[in-house]
Structures are given as structure tokens and as C-alpha cells.
Amino acid sequence: MSDAETERKVEAAERAALELANVDVEQRNAALGAIAEAIDDHRETVIAVNDEDVAAAEELLAKGEYTQALVDRLKVDDGKVDSIVEMVESVADMDDPLGETLAARHLDDDLDLYKVAVPIGVIGTVFESRPDALVQIASLALKSGNAVILKGGSEASESNRKLFEIIREAAQEVEAIPEGWVQLIEAREAVDTVLEMDEYIDLLMPRGSSEFVSYVQDNTQIPVLGHTEGVCHVYVDREADLDEAVDVAYDAKVQYPAVCNAVETLLVHEDVAEQFLPAVADRYAEAGVELRGDERTREILEDVDVAAATDEDWRTEYGDLILAIKVVDSLPDAIDHVNTNGSKHTESILTEDDDRARQFMTAIDAASVFHNASTRFADGYRYGLGAEVGISTGKIHARGPVGLDGLTTYKYYLEGDGHLVASYAGEDALPFTHEEFDGAW
């Protein structure tokens, strides 16, 4: 794709965004319904083209160029199509994020100020191998009245192209939806063109490695909402219910290891390590989890094949059936390890002591912190957000799973009756009342 072609698509998205912002929710929901139905109707085609992507990826896996985790994320089967359709329908069922009056204030008689939710405008996204991510992002953009530029990985090119075509054609069945609201770019070099188009794009949401997100941030003037890797931890406290802790630690790693909210490091308090570690190691062995541990972990699990963990292991997102384990002396040591090595994604403490849980949860710097729950709950759908564009590990303007609310901003509307600023200046200036009131614009 030429630079001119990329620029044309971005400019078309900006024009569409101005129209889409004023399409009522019934029409946006109708388009989402059409998209869900079309994906369901074309499931065999989607699976067939995905098979091509998977076959090519497996060849590269055999050559050592791809990981098993990437191939796993790439696959689309009947069950995955079902979940994609359900996700689109759930977005349609959610309340309209636009037009909500966030605040209303009387400035003076007949002078009222309203703060109202509106779309961001044009959102550029770059995401990894999961084809369902394309549908999630497009659906959330449509519901929130935003145009969207989609750039998926080359490993999912056939799947992404087919899903994009289905989405674009289905949405056009609803006359009010402007053409050009969704755009697909495929060439790697097109990303650099997008990064330069700050006049047209309002927000970038890259999903990928820290290195890639940093590259985007360093090479654009467009605001960036970064989704980086998930180096997630589960800490088994000395006051944990150990049977429950085995189940949670197992779920956090094994339920779906290829995603960013899977646990990568297990921390265990020294008081319960000798009892807990053999039990959880047995469960991990059943699932084929490769363990890497510190010296104390390896001493306790002397009859288990546990490789020596390196400093790099404490900072690695494996995305696979690999887990690092460390025995810690205390709760503060666990907190320090997480804050030093984590990626500010999702962390969990397993304990029956609410005070210790609160200490951990308030001291940890992460977008999501759990008590007695698997890190796998860090997900837009599970949070009730309908779906997610990504999980933001930054702090501005959205944090954690980014759903509809994270794709809106606000503007101020002022309703007056010939009011003049001169009336509120000088010796006889009128006073402002600045009274909050319940009201919608």
C-alpha cells in the first residue's frame, strides 16, 4: 500500500467520524446487529481463511520463527466465532455512551453549563495475532461513534481481511452509517504514515510489546493509549486458603496461557511454601507447565524438574505454559517484587486476612489488583464493558480494560440568554452562582 493510499483511508475515516458522531444509538445498534448476523452467516468462510493463516503460522513455528502462543491466539473455530458473535451482540445491548450529561451547573440565571459525553473522533489501532481483536475494536468504535483505523499482524492477514470485509459490508446495510468509518491498513510501512497524521487521528491504541509501544510513542504527536505486555503475578500469602490457592494459581496460568492476563510469576510466602508448592506443582505437572524457580523453590521441589530462574524470568511475559516461582519472606517483599518487575497490568493476592489483602491492593501500582481471584478476570467482557479495545497499563486517560467509556471524551455546552462577560467584570460585577443541578442537555 502506498503512502497516498494510507493517507486517503485516514482522511476518509476523519470525514466519516464527523458524521458517525451524530448517528443515533438505534442506528448504531442496528449496524452492530447486522455485523453479528453477518459473521454468524459467514462462519465457514471465516474459519476457512483462518485455516490458511494458521497453516502458514505453523510452518513458521516449525522453523522457530513463531511461538506456540502466537499460533494459539491466531486460531478461530466454531466456538471462537460463537464468542465473537456474542461479543458484538453484547456491545449492542449496552447503554449508549454518547450524549450523557456528566455534569450540569448553573452559572447564573438562565446561564447553564453542561458537560456531555462525545466520541473521541478517529482512533488508530495496531494489534496482535488475534483476529477477534479486530471485531472487538471495530464494534466498540462503532457503538461509541468513533471511526477506526485497523492494523493487524501479517500472521492474521487473511482472517483480518475477511472479517473487515464482513463488518464493512454489514454496517453499510444501515443507511445512516457513513461509508469509511472503518478502515484496514495492512502494510508494515503504513504504520509510519499513520503516526505522522496527527491532523486526522485523535488517539492511537497500540497493542504489543513494550518496545513497540515505546516506538509508537516516540514517533508520533498523536496521544497514545498504550497496551503493553502482561507480566502478571499471583501472591500466595501466609494466611491463604491453600486448597483454594492451588485452584486459583492453576486457573491463572493454565486456563488460557497465551493471553496478557495469564499469570507469569507465582510468589509464595515462606511460611506456607513447603506445604503449598508441592501441591500446586502436581497440578501444573498435569498440564505440562514448565517451572522456573528461585533457590528456595528448587530446594522445596527437589523431586520436581524446576529450572533455575534468572533475573530475566521475573520480567518475562511467556504467553505459554511456563511459570516463574519465587519464595518471599514477607508481604512487603511480595509488594516490592511486583512493583519492581510487573508491567502494571493485573496482580492478585490470595489470603483470608482482609487487612493484608488491602495492604497489598493499595500498595501495588497496577491497573487491576484482585483479592482471591484469578488474574484471568482482567477482561473487558468479564468486567461488563461489553468488550475491550485493549488493556491500558498507563494511567491517562483510561486504565485497565478499555471499553466504551474509554473511547469517549466530553465537550461543554453553554446555554445562555444574551449573557455578556462584561456583566461579570468591574466594580459592579454580577456574581456567579456555580450551583450544581440535576439535568440533561
The predicted-structure confidence for 130-171, as pLDDT tens digits, reads as follows 899 999 999 999 999 999 999 998 999 999 999 999 999 999
**Mean pLDDT calculated for residue range 424-435:** 95
Cβ atoms within 10 Å of 211's Cβ, excluding its own = 9
Best mean pLDDT range from 67-71, 172-176, 316-320: 172-176
For residue 223, pLDDT beyond 50: yes
pLDDT band at 1 (very low <50, low <70, confident <90, very high): very low
**Mean pLDDT calculated for residue range 357-386:** 93
Task: Give CA–CA dist 255/262, Å, rounded.
Answer: 8
Name the DSSP class of 351.
-
- Write b or e for each residue in 369-392: b if 16 or more Cβ atoms lie within 10 A of its Cβ, otherwise e: bbebbbbbebbbbeeebbbbbbbb
Q: With CA atoms as reference, report the closest residue to 200 among 228, 220, 225.
A: 220
Mean pLDDT of the chain: 94
pTM of the model: 0.82
Which domains are present in the chain?
A: 3-228+393-408 (3.40.605.10), 232-377 (3.40.309.10)
Q: In a 10 Å sphere around its CB, with 0-12 CB exposed, 13-18 middle and 19+ buried, how is residue 187 labelled?
A: middle
**Mean pLDDT calculated for residue range 255-260:** 90
Give 117-141 pLDDT, tens digit per residue.
Answer: 999 999 999 887 789 999 999 999 9
Greatest alpha-carbon span in the chain = 87
% pLDDT > 90, the chain: 83
Give 34-80 pLDDT, tens digit per residue.
Answer: 999 999 999 999 999 999 999 999 999 999 998 887 898 899 999 99
% pLDDT > 70, the chain: 99
For residue 186, pLDDT beyond 60: yes
Residue 180's region, left for phi above 0, alpha for psi from -120 to 50, else beta, is left
Instruction: For residue 184, give every residue at least 6 positions away whose Cβ sits within 8 Å of its Cβ, in sequence order, or none.
Output: 150, 151, 152, 160, 161, 164
For residue 296, pLDDT beyond 90: yes
Which grid coordinates are listed for 73?
491466539
What pLDDT sits at residue 2?
54
